[in-house]
Amino acid sequence: MTNFLVTGHTGFKGSWLTLLLDELGHQVSGLALDPEDPSLFSLCNLSEVVSQDIRGDIRDPKSVSRAMDITQPQVVVHLAAQPLVRHSFEHPRETLTTNLMGTFNLLEAAQSSRSIEAVLIVTTDKVYAPKPLGSKADEASALGGNDIYSASKAAADLVATAWSRSFTSFPLAIARGGNVIGGGDFGRDRLLPDAIAALERAEPIELRYPSAVRPWQHVLDCLSGYLAIVSHLQTRKSGDYGGEQWNVGPAADDFASVQHVVELASESWGAEVEWTVSKTPSVDETRWLALDSNRIERELGWRGRLNLQQAVEWTVQWHHSVHRGEDAQRVSRNQICRYLEEH
């Protein structure tokens, strides 16, 4: 059993990671803001699952240090972030301070801890500078980003790498995941939550960029990749700590357009959904994102287990079950057990 501290544990990925680690027999504590309403965390009553449910702002160094002192973790998975591109246009300062200085605060607190065996900093596929249509970003691709969210995550990525090369008290790696989908995502301006809501109401869904392509993956695939990296870090020898970067993305066949994902969701739901192009003024977002995840498959033996159609089906099935009145934590744990057993 490993003692984990998950920052951002009340968020979508953090909630799934909490349940996954619990199913795997680990001890999980968390540091995060209060969950939004609705949230997977609240639906699954995860405050009773975590060993320490600590509420605090990652932007506050004292809160981060306090959480580290209380939990004495062996492994930290840093998920806490402002995760929305569009929100970053409305709140650039919040985005920068959360994603950049929050990461710095976490690294500084971990540096003072004697219990740490490994730290995983989670960023995003959007840390990469825009690439030509049809090309994929590997770990050596240039970082960049044309919006504050992407820039803030790229900056956090660079700071974490620099930290690991300047201070070598624990193994550290950076994970760059794709566009994650799964049950219990209620985030604003997220494709599948919006599509499922439209299907429930039998109303058309507005799409900002129907032809935009993203590397879609189920949340359990992404999290299993993170844990593969953590296991790798725990084998590193003293002084060989590096600041490795790892892409954790789907297979090449799962780079798909927004329109195609909506069509798969409609098919899984068992009803057709009409879509229209949004006429509301929108921010300029990258039209093409694709990750090259060959390195993690080649060196760590990890690859995604669910294809895009399965990922969408599992997401729709989760919402069907919960809307029928089934217990959200039980539905989530059943999917985790199925994932671990079948894949």
CA atoms of 312 and 329, how far apart (whole Å): 19
pLDDT band at 281 (very low <50, low <70, confident <90, very high): low
Domain limits for position 244? 3-342
How many domains does the chain divide into? 1
81-106 confidence digits (pLDDT tens):
998 888 999 999 999 999 999 999 99
CA atoms of 118 and 65, how far apart (whole Å): 16
3-state SS, 66-133, equals: HHHHHHCCCEEEECCCCCCHHHHHHCHHHHHHHHHHHHHHHHHHHHCCCCCCEEEEECCHHHECCCCC
291-339 confidence digits (pLDDT tens):
999 999 999 999 999 999 999 999 999 999 999 999 999 999 999 999 9
Any idea what the CATH number is for the domain that residue 220 is in? 3.40.50.720
What are the backbone angles phi and psi of residue 226, rounded to the nearest 5°? -60, -45
* Both tokens assigned to 33: 């803001």
Read off the pTM.
0.96
- CA terminus-to-terminus distance, the chain: 22
